[in-house]
Structure 1
Amino acid sequence: MITYAFQIFQSILKFSLVGVLSLCTNPNNQKPVTKTERPNILFCIADDASMKSFGAYGDTFINTPVIDNLAKEGVVFQNAYNGNPKCSPARACILTGKYSWQLKEAADHNGRFPLEFKTYPQLLAKKGYRVGYTGKGWGPGVYDTKDNPAGPEHNAIKLKPPYKGIADIDYAANFEAFLNNTPKETPFCFWLGAKEPHRFYELDSWKKSGRKLEEASVPPFYPDNEVVRGDLLDYANEVEWFDTHVGKAIKSLEEKELLKNTLVVISSDHGMPFPRVKGQIYEEGFHIPLIAYWKGKIISGRTVSDFISFSDLAPTFMEVTGEIPHQQMTGGSIVKQLFSSESGRIDTSRDHVLLGKERHDVGRSNEDGTDLAYPVRAIRNDSLLYVHNIKPERWPVGNPEFGFMNTDGSPTKSYLTNLKPEDEEYHYFEMNFDKKPENELYNIQKDPHCINNLAEKPEYKSVIKELRTQMETELIAQGDPRTLGKGDIFDQYIYYGKRLDYKTGKRISPLKYEKQTE
């Protein structure tokens, strides 16, 4: 997508500021925004919620009426991807408008957010916007700026959650307090970052909510049993909690007569915190929800099939507010897709997306104890997903002796890791935790759960060659250190979370972090 991004940026430079502002008009030829009526932005992001957990993306056993209604009244992006399926690198892509492999330390999970990277909240704050966040912003990891890269924190207002696993932060109330303290003439940019449905969950909370085990839909890469079904239902409760707070936030905007001038965007950083999903390069891990609503500006009932990456959001937010995207931003604005009157493929050049990962969590080391990545690069188009596991000799989810640490602890994980080779269901363990071949190829249209690897079939040899060439050509143009043969740098970056003593297998304190200043 680098060529597309450069084209967009070059075209923007040709416009005067008035020209840029004119891009924010809707299809009904309304006047462009001016500096005195700049739009607000409310970005709502769940923590670990799969795309298919929202009714707007098909049948689900989870109830998300608020988000589903926003989808009906706005635009649904069918092919939105996070670039890297783990919390901090995915969120860094959103904030910086850069691809994961361009983020240096921030490409790793629980790393450092480089001071050199500008974020759209920082840039908009300098242009007169009031910015802030509640819940979870960028993280986990460390940063050098005074505030979180998502903005100043607004987490003072608490509540008593309905289940033990839910955070005690009242996201909607904190957002309302932020609005109350924002002068009416001042535009705002707010990040509503729920901490749900991140684990842990209150075990069997599904019983409290009156659910039934038969309601759950079990993916084919898990055994269908009460343990897995109960875990999925506990997860469902927390997804619904996110939907509730989005609803309250929208109500606050309505009551303050701000909704008509606010772009609302709904998403999640990656798929659910279950084996083979969160942190993994499979469809449910990196294919994320993306819904945009702007009353009177975005035509309702539309679905867009253009391929969108998280790196496209920052330049979009800049352009919507009448600002030129920062030169560091390598993603491409999707203003055209937001305000089109059409559904389907708006821009024919957006026919694929690149994905990748480096080090996510500790639990995989070499002889000197260095925390190693499980590097992957992938390309996804309308029908195929090609995955290149660059170091297939390594364990993809972390070494077994350390507990497969790139998968969150859960009843589902415990069930799978307790399976033995002689067990009838052992193939589920292999699907979720075993080593992988160097090349994987899946026909997403026929095999959306990525079960049947076509890479070993002779008839797909030329397809793999073509996809890999396309992928690596674009990655080289984007300066990807891994593709340029300098990928070991990602293993050298410091992990700032709770580390692992590889001799004892015990968790130890994080390294001391000294802040830098501009």
Structure 2
Amino acid sequence: MKKNTKTVLGLACVAGALSTGRVPAEPAAASAERPNILFCIADDASMSTFGAYGGTMVQTPAFDRLAEGGVLFRNAYNCNPKCSPARACLVTGRYSWQLEEACNHWPRFPEKFSFYPHLLKDAGFHVGYTGKGWAPGVCAGENPAGKAYNDIKLKPPYSGIRNIDYAANFAAFLNQNPDGRPFCFWLGTSEPHRAYEKGSWKKAGLRLADAVVPPFFPDNETIRGDLLDYAVEVTWFDRHVGRAIGELEQRGLLENTLIIVTSDHGMPFPRIKGQLYEEGFHVPMVAYWHGVIQPGRVVEDFVSFPDVAPTFMQAVGLEPHQQMTGKSFLDLLRSPQSGWIDPARDHVLLGKERHDIGRENAEGKDLAYPVRAIRTKDFLYAHNMKPDRWPAGNPELGLKNCDNSPTKSYLTALKPGDPEYHFYAWSFGLRPEEELYQIRKDPHCMVNLADNPEYHESMARLKAQMEAELVDQNDPRMLGQGDLFDHYPYLGKGGNKRK
């Protein structure tokens, strides 16, 4: 497991920044009309890793058990494939481009937006978190270092490793609820975020042959070992999900708890995390609710992170907050059907602005890499609005929108003329203004069809639909005001913390 010393960031902002002075409603026990909520989120875990989706690198028994007893979503998307903006969509129920500064990575979260845990606390819920909440960034008006409501003290790491005992913190949270109020808990691991203990796959008894190498990477021992080190970290996440389920079973709470498990985006590798290709924004998601969700269902309808908050609100009998523009999928949870259920859920919109620094202009200002995209049953269409900018950051400034890793080091060591140089270009090169991929035939987004006349009509139709919906959602990029995303301060290390 990890041996790094990086800290957990922004814990107080999701369910920890709750010392608001609000008076909760009269305590009320959980019931069929007002279930408990347990939300578990991995940090950088790809959908393809989990056994319920056919993953074979490691076993994920807890996630797979929930899928067997609940509903597995085959088309769940994060709206924006980076930690802060993806989690901002989750907690607010809004699309990324509707969140002002919070559309960026490492922002100051606008004070005007409410978080669903705060709303449930106001409604009388026992609310808490452990690990990584909304992060990284700064919540306006909150002190992340201050004592927060139900802020569970993090237990010491196990001997020799850094990892937090998330499940034990969940148990402590449940112990703090003697009145038996319905609860809302955010279990946010920092795994499988980098950095990793190199070679941990050997200790776990894995084999290089177990690694599944995407076609946009070279197939060698370095890449396979890096993928397996990542896979070991996924098992830590799954283990704590399993232990949290065990706590609910032991206390007789499982039967009336709505559980949703997901990840904020794909694994921390080049061309995946932070990038608008399928593995970066197509996330795992399973929901379990005994007696409400019929076991073993698989739903194909498209759902997106902005849909999660209004779903939680409706599940507990509350109206979604007026700020929430996502659409509740409570009907999908209650439906007895599998497959395609709601004909209107046939696509999702996706986007990104500035994730990390490293695209400076002549004045030294850090610039966004704006993209808007639409994903349907058959196609992914992406509009790279500033194709002259580097999607993963300027190579001369360190490709800062890509986590450091053995895989990144291998690719960046390749030089023009090397037989494998195309792997570098696929991850770090400039991109055309428009990209179109036929996802069912090309799930890894390897063949861009944008210049193929056979697909021009389909591409034009997708672009028109995407832009019309974005105009309806007041996306600044559609209204000629998109450059404002470049002017919001970046508050991370090395960023310009100008006011």
- Please give the TM-score of this superposition, normalised by the length of structure 1: 0.88
Q: Out of 363, 374, 386, which is 2:381 matched to?
A: 386
RMSD: 1.7
Q: Is this contact kept in 2: 1:147–1:153, CA < 8 A?
A: no
Change (3 A) 1:161 1:408: farther
Provide the residue aligned with 2:44 in structure 1.
48
Q: Is this contact kept in 2: 1:384–1:443, CA < 8 A?
A: yes
User: Mapping of 1:167-316 within 5 angstroms?
Assistant: 167-316=162-311
Q: Is this contact kept in 1: 2:33–2:316, CA < 8 A?
A: no
Quote the Cα distance in structure 2 between the aligned partners of 1:353 and 1:119. 22
Provide the residue aligned with 2:151 in structure 1.
153
Q: Is this contact kept in 2: 1:161–1:168, CA < 8 A?
A: no
Deviates more, 1:54-63 or 1:445-454: 54-63
Q: Is this contact kept in 2: 1:122–1:151, CA < 8 A?
A: no
Quote the Cα distance in structure 1 between the aligned partners of 2:446 and 2:307. 30
Deviates more, 1:170-179 or 1:53-62: 53-62
Aligned to 2:474, the other structure's residue is in SS state: coil
Aligned to 2:293, the other structure's residue is in SS state: coil
Aligned to 2:479, the other structure's residue is in SS state: coil
Quote the Cα distance in structure 2 between the aligned partners of 1:351 and 1:126. 34
Provide the residue aligned with 2:23 in structure 1.
none
Quote the Cα distance in structure 1 between the aligned partners of 2:346 and 2:33. 35
Q: Is this contact kept in 2: 1:137–1:191, CA < 8 A?
A: yes
Aligned to 1:482, the other structure's residue is in SS state: helix
Q: Out of 450, 455, 469, which is 2:450 matched to?
A: 455
Structure 1 residue 499, shift from structure 2 partner? 2.0
Quote the Cα distance in structure 1 between the aligned partners of 2:194 and 2:351. 24
Structure 1 residue 183, shift from structure 2 partner? 2.4
What are the Cα deviations for residues 235-262 of structure 1, in whole angstroms up to 9, with x where unaligned? 0110000000001100111111111110
Quote the Cα distance in structure 2 between the aligned partners of 1:92 and 1:38. 25
Aligned to 1:318, the other structure's residue is in SS state: helix
Deviates more, 1:62-71 or 1:433-442: 62-71
Provide the residue aligned with 2:419 in structure 1.
424
Change (3 A) 1:74 1:159: same
Matched, 1:117 2:141: no
Quote the Cα distance in structure 1 between the aligned partners of 2:440 and 2:240. 34
Structure 1 residue 385, shift from structure 2 partner? 0.3
Change (3 A) 1:127 1:462: same
Structure 1 residue 306, shift from structure 2 partner? 0.8
Matched, 1:511 2:497: yes
Quote the Cα distance in structure 2 between the aligned partners of 1:91 and 1:59. 24
Q: Is this contact kept in 2: 1:55–1:64, CA < 8 A?
A: yes
Quote the Cα distance in structure 2 between the aligned partners of 1:90 and 1:154. 24
Matched, 1:339 2:331: no
Structure 1 residue 419, shift from structure 2 partner? 0.1
Provide the residue aligned with 2:397 in structure 1.
402
Change (3 A) 1:99 1:138: same
Change (3 A) 1:247 1:145: farther
Q: Is this contact kept in 1: 2:94–2:323, CA < 8 A?
A: yes
Identity of aligned residues (%): 61
Matched, 1:498 2:493: yes
Provide the residue aligned with 2:15 in structure 1.
none
Quote the Cα distance in structure 2 between the aligned partners of 1:334 and 1:147. 33
Q: Is this contact kept in 1: 2:128–2:185, CA < 8 A?
A: yes
Aligned to 2:341, the other structure's residue is in SS state: coil
What are the Cα deviations for residues 364-395 of structure 1, in whole angstroms up to 9, with x where unaligned? 11111111000000000001000100000001
Quote the Cα distance in structure 1 between the aligned partners of 2:33 and 2:94. 28
Aligned to 2:261, the other structure's residue is in SS state: strand
Structure 1 residue 60, shift from structure 2 partner? 2.2
- Please give the TM-score of this superposition, normalised by the length of structure 2: 0.91
Matched, 1:377 2:372: yes
- Structure 2 counterpart of 1:134, which letter? T
Structure 1 residue 512, shift from structure 2 partner? 7.9
Quote the Cα distance in structure 1 between the aligned partners of 2:497 and 2:227. 35
Q: Is this contact kept in 2: 1:311–1:332, CA < 8 A?
A: yes
Q: Is this contact kept in 2: 1:274–1:412, CA < 8 A?
A: yes
Quote the Cα distance in structure 1 between the aligned partners of 2:279 and 2:459. 22
Deviates more, 1:53-62 or 1:432-441: 53-62
Provide the residue aligned with 2:459 in structure 1.
464
Quote the Cα distance in structure 1 between the aligned partners of 2:199 and 2:132. 25
What are the Cα deviations for residues 34-66 of structure 1, in whole angstroms up to 9, with x where unaligned? 879621000000000000110111132121011
Change (3 A) 1:151 1:448: farther
Provide the residue aligned with 2:76 in structure 1.
80
- Structure 2 counterpart of 1:291, which letter? V
What are the Cα deviations for residues 324-344 of structure 1, in whole angstroms up to 9, with x where unaligned? 000000000000000100001
Q: Is this contact kept in 1: 2:212–2:224, CA < 8 A?
A: yes
- Structure 1 counterpart of 2:134, which letter? W
Q: Is this contact kept in 2: 1:48–1:198, CA < 8 A?
A: yes
Matched, 1:89 2:85: yes
Length, aligned pairs only: 469
Q: Is this contact kept in 2: 1:36–1:185, CA < 8 A?
A: no
- Structure 2 counterpart of 1:133, which letter? Y
Quote the Cα distance in structure 2 between the aligned partners of 1:124 and 1:486. 34
User: Mapping of 1:95-134 within 5 angstroms?
Assistant: 95-134=91-130
Aligned to 1:192, the other structure's residue is in SS state: strand
Change (3 A) 1:192 1:488: same
- Structure 2 counterpart of 1:391, which letter? K
- Structure 1 counterpart of 2:252, which letter? E
- Structure 2 counterpart of 1:489, which letter? L
Change (3 A) 1:396 1:442: same
What are the Cα deviations for residues 144-190 of structure 1, in whole angstroms up to 9, with x where unaligned? 24476x9753242122166x5xx431100000000001124311100
Structure 1 residue 210, shift from structure 2 partner? 1.5
Provide the residue aligned with 1:57 in structure 2.
53
Quote the Cα distance in structure 2 between the aligned partners of 1:91 and 1:137. 8
Quote the Cα distance in structure 1 between the aligned partners of 2:367 and 2:291. 49
Change (3 A) 1:173 1:401: same
Change (3 A) 1:35 1:229: closer
Quote the Cα distance in structure 1 between the aligned partners of 2:269 and 2:408. 7
Q: Is this contact kept in 1: 2:57–2:211, CA < 8 A?
A: yes
What are the Cα deviations for residues 190-240 of structure 1, in whole angstroms up to 9, with x where unaligned? 000000000000111111112111110100000000000000000011000
Instruction: Note the residue ranges of structure 1 that are not aligned, 5 or more in a row.
Output: 1-32, 501-509, 514-518
Q: Out of 420, 430, 438, which is 1:435 matched to?
A: 430
